[in-house]
Structure 1
Protein backbone atom coordinates (compact mmCIF):
# COMPACT_ATOMS: atom_id res chain seq x y z
CA UNK A 1 0.00 0.00 0.00
CA UNK A 2 1.76 3.18 -1.08
CA UNK A 3 0.31 5.22 1.78
CA UNK A 4 -0.10 3.93 5.31
CA UNK A 5 -3.08 6.29 5.76
CA UNK A 6 -5.07 4.90 2.83
CA UNK A 7 -7.67 2.28 3.63
CA UNK A 8 -9.59 0.04 1.26
CA UNK A 9 -13.37 0.23 1.08
CA UNK A 10 -15.50 -2.83 1.82
CA UNK A 11 -16.16 -3.12 -1.93
CA UNK A 12 -12.42 -3.03 -2.75
CA UNK A 13 -11.73 -5.66 -0.09
CA UNK A 14 -14.48 -7.87 -1.53
CA UNK A 15 -12.97 -7.53 -5.02
CA UNK A 16 -9.51 -8.53 -3.76
CA UNK A 17 -10.92 -11.56 -1.91
CA UNK A 18 -12.84 -12.58 -5.06
CA UNK A 19 -9.69 -12.15 -7.18
CA UNK A 20 -7.73 -14.36 -4.75
CA UNK A 21 -10.42 -17.07 -4.88
CA UNK A 22 -10.61 -16.82 -8.69
CA UNK A 23 -6.81 -17.11 -8.94
CA UNK A 24 -6.86 -20.32 -6.89
CA UNK A 25 -9.82 -21.76 -8.81
CA UNK A 26 -8.09 -20.92 -12.11
CA UNK A 27 -4.92 -22.63 -10.81
CA UNK A 28 -6.86 -25.77 -9.94
CA UNK A 29 -8.45 -25.83 -13.42
CA UNK A 30 -5.41 -24.93 -15.54
CA UNK A 31 -2.30 -25.24 -13.38
CA UNK A 32 -1.44 -21.66 -14.36
CA UNK A 33 -1.63 -18.26 -12.62
CA UNK A 34 -4.61 -16.06 -13.45
CA UNK A 35 -3.78 -13.30 -15.94
CA UNK A 36 -5.43 -10.00 -15.04
CA UNK A 37 -5.76 -6.66 -16.78
CA UNK A 38 -5.19 -4.15 -13.95
CA UNK A 39 -7.01 -1.44 -15.93
CA UNK A 40 -10.24 -3.45 -15.50
CA UNK A 41 -10.19 -2.71 -11.76
CA UNK A 42 -10.71 0.24 -9.43
CA UNK A 43 -7.89 2.82 -9.80
CA UNK A 44 -6.78 2.25 -6.19
CA UNK A 45 -6.31 -1.48 -6.89
CA UNK A 46 -4.21 -0.61 -9.97
CA UNK A 47 -1.65 1.24 -7.86
CA UNK A 48 1.49 -0.60 -6.75
CA UNK A 49 0.89 -2.55 -3.57
CA UNK A 50 2.37 -5.36 -1.50
CA UNK A 51 0.20 -8.06 0.05
CA UNK A 52 0.39 -11.43 1.74
CA UNK A 53 -2.27 -14.05 1.08
CA UNK A 54 -2.79 -16.56 3.89
CA UNK A 55 -4.82 -19.71 3.34
CA UNK A 56 -6.39 -21.73 6.13
CA UNK A 57 -8.26 -25.00 6.02
CA UNK A 58 -10.29 -26.08 9.05
CA UNK A 59 -8.44 -23.54 11.20
CA UNK A 60 -4.97 -24.71 10.15
CA UNK A 61 -2.43 -22.84 8.05
CA UNK A 62 -2.52 -24.15 4.46
CA UNK A 63 -0.23 -21.64 2.74
CA UNK A 64 1.09 -18.11 3.03
CA UNK A 65 3.02 -16.19 0.38
CA UNK A 66 3.46 -12.46 -0.10
CA UNK A 67 5.43 -9.46 -1.19
CA UNK A 68 7.29 -7.18 1.19
CA UNK A 69 7.54 -4.24 -1.19
CA UNK A 70 5.17 -2.85 -3.80
CA UNK A 71 6.46 -3.78 -7.27
CA UNK A 72 3.26 -4.41 -9.28
CA UNK A 73 -0.42 -3.40 -9.16
CA UNK A 74 -2.04 -4.46 -5.88
CA UNK A 75 -4.73 -6.53 -7.65
CA UNK A 76 -2.03 -8.43 -9.58
CA UNK A 77 0.03 -8.92 -6.41
CA UNK A 78 -2.99 -10.47 -4.64
CA UNK A 79 -3.74 -12.79 -7.59
CA UNK A 80 -0.12 -13.93 -7.94
CA UNK A 81 0.33 -14.47 -4.19
CA UNK A 82 -2.97 -16.36 -3.86
CA UNK A 83 -1.83 -18.73 -6.61
CA UNK A 84 1.60 -19.09 -4.99
CA UNK A 85 0.13 -19.69 -1.51
CA UNK A 86 -2.08 -22.47 -2.91
CA UNK A 87 0.44 -24.17 -5.16
CA UNK A 88 4.00 -23.03 -4.41
CA UNK A 89 4.37 -22.73 -0.63
CA UNK A 90 7.24 -25.19 0.00
CA UNK A 91 5.82 -26.14 3.41
CA UNK A 92 2.72 -27.75 1.86
CA UNK A 93 1.75 -29.95 -1.08
CA UNK A 94 -0.15 -28.15 -3.84
CA UNK A 95 -3.79 -27.51 -3.01
CA UNK A 96 -6.19 -30.21 -4.22
CA UNK A 97 -9.66 -29.57 -5.67
CA UNK A 98 -11.21 -31.32 -2.65
CA UNK A 99 -9.77 -28.65 -0.34
CA UNK A 100 -11.12 -25.64 -2.25
CA UNK A 101 -14.58 -25.36 -0.66
CA UNK A 102 -13.20 -25.35 2.89
CA UNK A 103 -10.51 -22.77 2.13
CA UNK A 104 -10.43 -19.52 4.11
CA UNK A 105 -8.57 -16.68 2.41
CA UNK A 106 -7.04 -13.81 4.37
CA UNK A 107 -5.30 -10.86 2.77
CA UNK A 108 -2.87 -8.48 4.48
CA UNK A 109 -1.97 -5.32 2.54
CA UNK A 110 1.34 -3.96 3.77
CA UNK A 111 2.41 -0.39 4.39
CA UNK A 112 5.87 0.48 3.06
CA UNK A 113 8.54 -0.87 5.45
CA UNK A 114 10.47 1.70 7.49
CA UNK A 115 13.82 1.08 9.19
CA UNK A 116 13.90 0.66 12.96
CA UNK A 117 16.84 2.42 14.60
CA UNK A 118 18.22 0.71 17.72
CA UNK A 119 21.46 0.50 19.69
CA UNK A 120 21.10 -2.93 21.31
CA UNK A 121 18.78 -5.92 21.44
CA UNK A 122 17.11 -4.49 24.56
CA UNK A 123 16.60 -1.19 22.74
CA UNK A 124 15.09 -3.00 19.75
CA UNK A 125 12.75 -5.00 22.01
CA UNK A 126 11.59 -1.79 23.71
CA UNK A 127 10.67 -0.28 20.32
CA UNK A 128 8.49 -3.18 19.15
CA UNK A 129 4.72 -2.63 19.14
CA UNK A 130 3.02 -5.99 19.82
CA UNK A 131 -0.05 -6.56 17.69
CA UNK A 132 0.83 -3.61 15.42
CA UNK A 133 4.25 -4.17 13.90
CA UNK A 134 5.14 -6.62 11.19
CA UNK A 135 8.91 -7.04 11.15
CA UNK A 136 11.54 -7.79 8.56
CA UNK A 137 14.88 -8.93 10.00
CA UNK A 138 18.03 -9.22 7.92
CA UNK A 139 21.61 -10.17 8.73
CA UNK A 140 24.45 -12.07 7.08
CA UNK A 141 22.52 -12.69 3.89
CA UNK A 142 19.52 -14.10 5.72
CA UNK A 143 16.08 -12.55 5.90
CA UNK A 144 12.75 -13.31 7.52
CA UNK A 145 9.46 -11.59 8.22
CA UNK A 146 6.51 -11.97 10.55
CA UNK A 147 3.16 -10.33 9.84
CA UNK A 148 1.54 -8.45 12.75
CA UNK A 149 -0.92 -11.36 13.12
CA UNK A 150 1.96 -13.54 14.42
CA UNK A 151 1.77 -11.56 17.67
CA UNK A 152 -1.41 -13.59 18.38
CA UNK A 153 0.75 -16.73 18.75
CA UNK A 154 3.88 -14.99 20.11
CA UNK A 155 2.74 -12.03 22.26
CA UNK A 156 6.05 -11.78 24.15
CA UNK A 157 8.51 -9.40 22.44
CA UNK A 158 11.54 -11.55 23.21
CA UNK A 159 9.92 -14.75 21.92
CA UNK A 160 8.64 -12.93 18.82
CA UNK A 161 12.17 -11.74 17.99
CA UNK A 162 13.76 -15.13 18.74
CA UNK A 163 11.29 -16.96 16.47
CA UNK A 164 11.83 -14.38 13.73
CA UNK A 165 15.58 -14.98 13.93
CA UNK A 166 14.94 -18.73 13.60
CA UNK A 167 12.69 -18.14 10.60
CA UNK A 168 15.52 -16.14 9.00
CA UNK A 169 17.87 -19.08 9.57
CA UNK A 170 19.75 -17.49 12.46
CA UNK A 171 20.19 -18.80 16.01
CA UNK A 172 17.59 -17.42 18.48
CA UNK A 173 20.33 -15.68 20.49
CA UNK A 174 21.99 -14.19 17.39
CA UNK A 175 23.12 -10.58 17.65
CA UNK A 176 25.48 -8.49 15.56
CA UNK A 177 26.11 -4.86 14.70
CA UNK A 178 25.09 -5.59 11.10
CA UNK A 179 21.55 -6.73 12.04
CA UNK A 180 18.89 -4.63 10.31
CA UNK A 181 15.17 -4.44 11.08
CA UNK A 182 12.24 -2.76 9.32
CA UNK A 183 8.66 -2.42 10.53
CA UNK A 184 5.40 -2.27 8.61
CA UNK A 185 1.71 -2.37 9.42
CA UNK A 186 -1.03 -4.22 7.59
CA UNK A 187 -4.63 -3.77 6.64
CA UNK A 188 -5.96 -7.30 7.05
CA UNK A 189 -9.26 -8.78 5.95
Structure 2
Protein backbone atom coordinates (compact mmCIF):
# COMPACT_ATOMS: atom_id res chain seq x y z
CA UNK A 1 0.00 0.00 0.00
CA UNK A 2 1.46 3.39 -0.97
CA UNK A 3 1.36 6.41 1.32
CA UNK A 4 -1.64 8.02 -0.44
CA UNK A 5 -3.70 4.82 -0.15
CA UNK A 6 -2.74 4.52 3.51
CA UNK A 7 -3.67 8.17 4.09
CA UNK A 8 -7.08 7.70 2.43
CA UNK A 9 -7.69 4.51 4.40
CA UNK A 10 -6.92 6.28 7.66
CA UNK A 11 -9.10 9.21 6.69
CA UNK A 12 -12.02 6.93 5.89
CA UNK A 13 -11.66 5.31 9.30
CA UNK A 14 -11.56 8.69 11.06
CA UNK A 15 -14.78 9.69 9.29
CA UNK A 16 -16.44 6.45 10.39
CA UNK A 17 -15.25 6.98 13.97
CA UNK A 18 -16.66 10.52 13.94
CA UNK A 19 -20.03 9.44 12.54
CA UNK A 20 -20.32 6.52 14.94
CA UNK A 21 -19.57 8.80 17.92
CA UNK A 22 -22.36 11.15 16.87
CA UNK A 23 -24.76 8.25 16.29
CA UNK A 24 -24.06 6.89 19.75
CA UNK A 25 -24.48 10.33 21.34
CA UNK A 26 -27.87 10.66 19.61
CA UNK A 27 -28.85 7.05 20.47
CA UNK A 28 -28.97 6.08 16.80
CA UNK A 29 -28.06 2.46 15.99
CA UNK A 30 -24.53 2.28 14.58
CA UNK A 31 -22.58 -0.50 12.91
CA UNK A 32 -19.65 -1.61 15.09
CA UNK A 33 -16.20 -0.53 13.91
CA UNK A 34 -13.41 -3.08 13.64
CA UNK A 35 -10.59 -1.42 15.54
CA UNK A 36 -7.58 -3.55 16.40
CA UNK A 37 -4.38 -3.21 18.35
CA UNK A 38 -2.34 -2.85 15.15
CA UNK A 39 -3.82 0.60 14.54
CA UNK A 40 -1.25 2.16 16.85
CA UNK A 41 -1.59 5.51 15.08
CA UNK A 42 -5.04 5.94 16.64
CA UNK A 43 -3.51 5.73 20.12
CA UNK A 44 -0.87 8.38 19.42
CA UNK A 45 -1.59 12.02 20.34
CA UNK A 46 -3.48 13.87 17.64
CA UNK A 47 -5.30 17.16 17.16
CA UNK A 48 -8.40 17.26 14.97
CA UNK A 49 -11.25 19.50 13.94
CA UNK A 50 -14.59 17.95 13.04
CA UNK A 51 -16.78 20.05 10.74
CA UNK A 52 -20.43 19.31 10.01
CA UNK A 53 -22.22 20.75 6.99
CA UNK A 54 -25.87 20.48 6.04
CA UNK A 55 -27.16 21.44 2.58
CA UNK A 56 -23.83 23.15 1.93
CA UNK A 57 -23.96 25.30 5.08
CA UNK A 58 -21.93 25.01 8.27
CA UNK A 59 -23.80 23.07 10.98
CA UNK A 60 -21.05 22.74 13.59
CA UNK A 61 -17.28 22.83 13.97
CA UNK A 62 -15.24 22.01 17.06
CA UNK A 63 -11.61 21.01 17.37
CA UNK A 64 -8.30 20.82 19.19
CA UNK A 65 -5.21 22.88 18.44
CA UNK A 66 -2.79 20.81 20.51
CA UNK A 67 -2.22 17.07 20.25
CA UNK A 68 -2.82 16.10 23.90
CA UNK A 69 -5.18 13.12 23.75
CA UNK A 70 -5.00 9.91 21.68
CA UNK A 71 -6.26 10.59 18.14
CA UNK A 72 -9.14 8.14 18.61
CA UNK A 73 -10.42 9.98 21.69
CA UNK A 74 -9.83 13.41 20.16
CA UNK A 75 -11.87 12.79 17.01
CA UNK A 76 -14.70 11.15 18.97
CA UNK A 77 -14.88 14.03 21.45
CA UNK A 78 -14.76 16.72 18.77
CA UNK A 79 -17.40 14.97 16.65
CA UNK A 80 -19.83 14.88 19.56
CA UNK A 81 -19.04 18.49 20.49
CA UNK A 82 -19.51 19.68 16.90
CA UNK A 83 -22.91 17.98 16.82
CA UNK A 84 -24.18 18.96 20.24
CA UNK A 85 -22.08 21.74 21.79
CA UNK A 86 -21.28 24.37 19.12
CA UNK A 87 -22.90 27.45 20.69
CA UNK A 88 -23.62 28.95 17.25
CA UNK A 89 -26.16 26.23 16.49
CA UNK A 90 -28.93 24.24 18.11
CA UNK A 91 -27.84 20.69 18.97
CA UNK A 92 -28.08 18.25 16.07
CA UNK A 93 -31.11 15.96 16.19
CA UNK A 94 -31.22 12.29 15.20
CA UNK A 95 -33.56 13.20 12.32
CA UNK A 96 -30.90 15.48 10.82
CA UNK A 97 -28.06 12.98 10.89
CA UNK A 98 -28.62 11.57 7.40
CA UNK A 99 -28.52 15.06 5.87
CA UNK A 100 -25.21 16.00 7.51
CA UNK A 101 -21.79 15.56 5.94
CA UNK A 102 -18.73 15.15 8.14
CA UNK A 103 -15.23 16.45 7.51
CA UNK A 104 -12.24 15.56 9.69
CA UNK A 105 -9.13 17.72 9.63
CA UNK A 106 -5.92 16.35 11.17
CA UNK A 107 -3.65 19.18 12.25
CA UNK A 108 0.11 19.43 11.94
CA UNK A 109 2.19 20.95 14.69
CA UNK A 110 1.74 24.68 15.35
CA UNK A 111 4.46 27.14 14.26
CA UNK A 112 4.75 30.76 15.41
CA UNK A 113 4.70 33.37 12.64
CA UNK A 114 7.33 36.10 13.04
CA UNK A 115 6.39 39.57 11.81
CA UNK A 116 7.15 43.23 12.51
CA UNK A 117 3.80 44.86 11.62
CA UNK A 118 0.33 44.02 10.37
CA UNK A 119 1.47 44.64 6.79
CA UNK A 120 4.39 42.27 7.32
CA UNK A 121 2.10 39.66 8.91
CA UNK A 122 -0.18 39.75 5.87
CA UNK A 123 2.74 38.90 3.59
CA UNK A 124 3.56 35.83 5.72
CA UNK A 125 0.10 34.21 5.42
CA UNK A 126 -0.16 31.45 2.80
CA UNK A 127 -3.65 31.34 1.22
CA UNK A 128 -5.16 27.85 0.95
CA UNK A 129 -2.24 26.41 2.96
CA UNK A 130 -2.25 27.93 6.44
CA UNK A 131 -4.66 27.49 9.25
CA UNK A 132 -4.05 30.52 11.47
CA UNK A 133 -4.34 31.06 15.21
CA UNK A 134 -4.87 34.66 16.37
CA UNK A 135 -4.05 35.57 19.98
CA UNK A 136 -4.20 38.85 21.87
CA UNK A 137 -4.44 38.69 25.64
CA UNK A 138 -7.61 36.72 26.42
CA UNK A 139 -8.81 37.01 22.81
CA UNK A 140 -8.24 33.96 20.65
CA UNK A 141 -9.58 32.54 17.40
CA UNK A 142 -8.58 30.24 14.58
CA UNK A 143 -9.58 29.46 11.02
CA UNK A 144 -8.81 26.18 9.27
CA UNK A 145 -7.14 26.40 5.84
CA UNK A 146 -10.53 25.55 4.30
CA UNK A 147 -11.79 29.02 5.28
CA UNK A 148 -9.59 30.57 2.56
CA UNK A 149 -12.26 29.35 0.11
CA UNK A 150 -14.65 31.99 1.52
CA UNK A 151 -12.05 34.56 2.60
CA UNK A 152 -9.51 34.34 -0.23
CA UNK A 153 -7.19 37.26 0.61
CA UNK A 154 -4.90 37.69 3.64
CA UNK A 155 -6.59 41.03 4.48
CA UNK A 156 -10.06 39.46 4.61
CA UNK A 157 -8.79 36.37 6.39
CA UNK A 158 -7.03 38.29 9.18
CA UNK A 159 -9.85 40.84 9.56
CA UNK A 160 -12.37 38.06 10.08
CA UNK A 161 -10.05 36.25 12.49
CA UNK A 162 -10.01 39.39 14.63
CA UNK A 163 -13.78 39.70 14.40
CA UNK A 164 -14.22 36.04 15.39
CA UNK A 165 -12.03 36.69 18.45
CA UNK A 166 -14.33 39.56 19.46
CA UNK A 167 -12.23 42.49 18.27
CA UNK A 168 -12.76 45.12 15.58
CA UNK A 169 -11.65 44.08 12.11
CA UNK A 170 -9.19 47.00 11.96
CA UNK A 171 -7.75 46.36 15.43
CA UNK A 172 -3.98 46.05 15.73
CA UNK A 173 -1.51 45.92 18.59
CA UNK A 174 2.14 44.94 18.78
CA UNK A 175 1.29 42.23 21.32
CA UNK A 176 -0.78 40.25 18.80
CA UNK A 177 0.55 36.73 18.20
CA UNK A 178 -0.10 34.64 15.10
CA UNK A 179 0.66 30.96 14.55
CA UNK A 180 0.15 28.63 11.63
CA UNK A 181 -0.60 24.97 11.01
CA UNK A 182 -1.57 22.81 8.06
CA UNK A 183 -4.12 20.02 7.83
CA UNK A 184 -4.81 16.74 6.11
CA UNK A 185 -8.56 16.58 5.61
CA UNK A 186 -11.16 14.06 4.56
CA UNK A 187 -14.86 14.56 3.96
CA UNK A 188 -17.89 12.50 3.18
CA UNK A 189 -19.53 13.22 -0.16
CA UNK A 190 -23.12 14.40 -0.01
CA UNK A 191 -24.77 11.22 -1.26
CA UNK A 192 -22.52 8.24 -0.98
CA UNK A 193 -20.76 9.03 2.32
CA UNK A 194 -17.63 8.25 0.32
CA UNK A 195 -14.32 9.62 1.52
CA UNK A 196 -12.75 12.49 -0.41
CA UNK A 197 -9.17 13.44 0.44
CA UNK A 198 -7.98 16.96 -0.09
Same fold (TM over 0.5): yes
Q: How does 1:24-43 map to 2 (within 5 A)?
A: 24-29=22-27, 40=37, 42-43=39-40
Distance 1:24 1:41 in 2: 24
Structure 1: runs of 5+ lacking an equivalent: 1-5, 31-35
Distance 2:110 2:162 in 1: 18
Q: Which of 180, 184, 188 is the equivalent residue of 2:181?
A: 184
Report SS of the residue matched to 2:51.
Answer: strand
Structure 2: runs of 5+ lacking an equivalent: 187-198
Q: Which of 145, 151, 154 is the equivalent residue of 1:157?
A: 154
For the 8 Å contact 2:133–2:178, the answer to whether it is kept is yes
Report SS of the residue matched to 1:69.
Answer: coil
Q: Which of 172, 175, 192 is the equivalent residue of 1:175?
A: 172
TM-superposed CA distance for 1:9, in Å, is 2.1
Cα RMSD between the aligned structures? Answer: 1.9
Q: How does 1:1-189 map to 2 (within 5 A)?
A: 9-29=7-27, 40=37, 42-189=39-186
Number of residue pairs the alignment of both structures matches: 178
Q: State the TM-score, normalized to the length of structure 1.
A: 0.89
Distance 1:41 1:93 in 2: 38
Q: State the TM-score, normalized to the length of structure 2.
A: 0.85
Q: Which runs of 4+ in 1 moved over 6 A?
A: none
